[in-house]
C-alpha cells in the first residue's frame, strides 16, 4: 500500500488553484493505484506548535546532550508527531500558493517546526548532513497570480527554489513540480491555465501510479 500525504498550504478552499490541481492529481493517482491511502494535513486547520523559547531550549538541550525537562520533552514530542506524517508517507504532495515571492507563512512555520536534527536530518562531523526522508517522491503544485515565465520573473521566485532546497536537505530528491499561473488575470486566463496544468498533473499521475 502507498501512503500519500497531501499538505494543503492555501486557506482558500473553494477557489484555490493549487488545491484544484493537487486534488485532480491525487484523484487520478488513487484511481490508478486504488490501495493508496490519502492523508490530508491542512496547515490552516492545524494548531501548529509555536516554535517558542521552550522548544528552542529543548532543541539546544538535545543538541548538547542535556536531559530535557518534562515541558521540553512534551514540546519535542509534539514536534516529532507532526514530522511523523512526513516519515510515514511514500508520496508527498504540497499545494503551495505564491505569497510575496515565497511560500505562505503557515508552510514556513511547519517547516521550521519539523526540520530538526535526528527528526528530519542527521549530522555527524565524519559524514556531515544527511536527510532522513529517503526513497520518497514529492509533487509540488505551485500556484502563482502572475506569469513567471516572463523574462526576469524567475529572479523573484523564492517559492520553488526554497521548496527544492528544503526537500533536498531532508533527503527528498525525487521532486516533480507542477505550475498553475496567471490565476489573478481574469477568469478566461485562469481557466486556460488550470486546464493546461490539469493535463500535466494527470499525465504525471499516470507516470507515477
Ligand X SMILES: Cc1cc2nc3c(=O)[nH]c(=O)nc-3n(C[C@H](O)[C@H](O)[C@H](O)COP(=O)(O)O)c2cc1C
Residues making up the binding site for FMN: 10, 16-18
Q: Name the minimum Å distance from CB 29 to ligand X.
A: 19
User: Given the complex with ligand X, which of 56 and 184 has the nearer CB atom?
Assistant: 184
Helix (H) or strand (E) holding 44: none
DSSP assignment string, 142-160: EE-SS-TTSTTGGGG--SH
User: Given the complex with ligand X, which of 18 and 24 has the nearer CB atom?
Assistant: 18
User: Given the complex with ligand X, which of 60 and 105 has the nearer CB atom?
Assistant: 105
Which residues define the annotated binding site? 10, 16-18
User: Given the complex with ligand X, which of 62 and 97 has the nearer CB atom?
Assistant: 97
The residue length of the chain stands at 209
Q: Name the minimum Å distance from CB 107 to ligand X.
A: 12
Residues 6+ apart with CB under 8 A from 157: 101, 148
Helix (H) or strand (E) holding 165: helix 160-169
Q: Name the minimum Å distance from CB 25 to ligand X.
A: 14
Q: Name the minimum Å distance from CB 92 to ligand X.
A: 17
Q: Name the minimum Å distance from CB 41 to ligand X.
A: 15
DSSP letter assigned to residue 66:
P
Give strand pairing partners of 1: none
Exposed, middle or buried by CB within 10 Å (0-12, 13-18, 19+), for 10?
Answer: buried
Which parts of this chain interact with ligand X (CB under 6 A)?
10, 12, 16-19, 97-101, 143-146, 183-184
Cα–Cα distance, 103 to 40 (Å, whole number):
19
User: Given the complex with ligand X, which of 33 and 200 has the nearer CB atom?
Assistant: 200
CA-derived radius of gyration, the chain: 18
Angle (CA) 63 65 69, round 5° = 95
Amino acid at each position: 500500500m502507498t501512503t500519500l500525504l497531501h499538505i494543503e498550504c492555501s486557506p482558500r478552499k473553494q477557489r484555490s488553484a493549487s488545491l484544484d490541481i493537487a486534488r485532480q492529481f491525487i484523484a487520478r493517482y488513487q484511481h490508478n493505484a486504488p490501495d493508496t491511502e490519502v492523508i490530508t494535513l491542512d496547515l490552516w486547520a492545524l494548531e501548529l506548535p509555536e516554535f517558542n523559547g521552550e522548544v528552542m531550549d529543548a532543541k539546544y538541550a538535545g543538541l548538547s546532550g542535556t536531559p530535557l525537562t518534562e515541558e521540553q520533552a512534551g514540546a519535542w514530542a509534539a514536534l516529532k508527531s507532526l514530522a511523523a506524517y512526513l516519515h510515514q508517507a511514500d508520496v508527498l504532495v504540497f499545494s503551495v500558493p505564491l505569497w510575496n515571492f515565497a511560500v505562505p507563512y503557515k508552510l514556513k512555520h511547519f517547516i521550521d517546526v519539523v526540520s530538526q536534527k535526528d527528526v528530519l536530518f542527521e549530522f555527524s562531523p565524519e559524514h556531515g548532513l544527511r536527510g532522513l526522508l529517503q526513497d520518497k517522491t514529492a509533487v509540488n503544485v505551485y500556484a502563482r497570480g502572475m506569469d513567471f515565465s516572463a523574462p526576469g520573473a524567475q529572479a523573484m521566485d523564492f517559492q520553488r527554489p526554497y521548496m527544492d532546497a528544503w526537500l533536498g536537505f531532508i533527503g527528498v530528491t525525487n521532486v516533480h513540480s507542477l505550475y498553475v499561473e496567471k490565476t489573478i488575470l481574469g477568469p478566461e486566463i485562469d481557466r486556460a491555465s488550470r486546464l493546461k496544468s490539469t493535463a500535466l498533473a494527470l499525465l504525471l499521475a499516470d507516470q507515477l501510479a
